[in-house]
Structure 1
Amino acid sequence: MKTLEEMIRELPPELRQEVEDFVEFLLQKRAKRSLEPLRLDWKGALQDLRAHFTAVELQHKAQEWWGD
């Protein structure tokens, strides 16, 4: 299996530029996330479901709804 660097070297220059642009985008996105404060506006949003589900059941449901 080829390394990422080897695959990039095989690309024509215009596609290498696209890869570079995408990597820059991902790095900026990651940096922005790390600077954002933790949001707690969801706190208590599932309170109505407390009588119907345990915390563990809700956790499993959340994984079904939103993935990992």
Structure 2
Amino acid sequence: MTTLARFVEQLPLDIQKEVLSYAEFLLERRSRKKQKVPAFDWEGALKDLGEQYSSVQLQHEIGKMRGA
């Protein structure tokens, strides 16, 4: 038996239920994080601007938008 299981076994039944509930929550949260794969559907959306502006010019424009 693992150390965690031994600790939980010593707890009152109502607290054991809380531990179980929290463990289920952690597992669910972990599985949700794994499913989040970034979508690059925006990739290439500003491709046309590359002909009008240099990368330095675009950086300056972005800085202006951010208030820098």
- TM-score bracket for the superposition, by shorter chain length: 0.5 to 0.7
The two structures, once aligned, show a CA RMSD in angstroms of 2.3
Q: Which amino acid aligns with 2:23?
A: V
Q: How many residues align?
A: 41
Structure 1's consecutive aligned runs of 4 or more residues displaced over 4 angstroms after TM superposition are none
Which of 1 and 2 has greater Rg? 2
**CA deviation digits over 1:4-60, x for unaligned, max 9?**
1100000000000000000000000000001111377xxxxxx78xxxxxxxxxxxx
For structure 2, the 5+ residue unaligned runs are 41-58, 61-68
Structure-2 change in CA distance of 1:38 and 1:10 (3 Å): same
Q: Matches of 2:37 and 2:27 in 1, distance apart?
A: 18
For structure 1, the 5+ residue unaligned runs are 41-46, 49-68
Identity %: 29
Q: Give the match for residue 29 of structure 2.
A: 29
Q: TM-score, with normalisation over the residues of structure 1? A: 0.52
Q: TM-score, with normalisation over the residues of structure 2? A: 0.52
